[in-house]
Amino acid sequence: NAGVTQTPKFRILKIGQSMTLQCAQDMNHNYMYWYRQDPGMGLKLIYYSVGAGITDKGEVPNGYNVSRSTTEDFPLRLELAAPSQTSVYFCASSLQAYNEQFFGPGTRLTVL
Residues in contact with other proteins by CB under 8 A are 33, 40-45, 48, 58, 88, 90, 92, 97-103, 105-106, 108
Q: Strand, coil or helix: what is 85?
A: helix
- Using the minimum distance from each CB to other proteins, give the nearer residue, 44 or 77: 44
Backbone angles phi, psi at 71, to 5 degrees: -65, -35
CB 49 within 8 A of CB 32: yes
- Using the minimum distance from each CB to other proteins, give the nearer residue, 17 or 95: 95
* Nearest distance, CB of residue 85 and other proteins, angstroms: 18
* Nearest distance, CB of residue 67 and other proteins, angstroms: 19
- Using the minimum distance from each CB to other proteins, give the nearer residue, 49 or 71: 49
Q: What is the DSSP string of 2-60?
A: --EEEE-SEEEE-TT--EEEEEEESS--SEEEEEEE-TTS--EEEEEEEETTEEEE-S-
Residue 5: strand pairing partners? 24
* Nearest distance, CB of residue 58 and other proteins, angstroms: 6
* Nearest distance, CB of residue 100 and other proteins, angstroms: 5
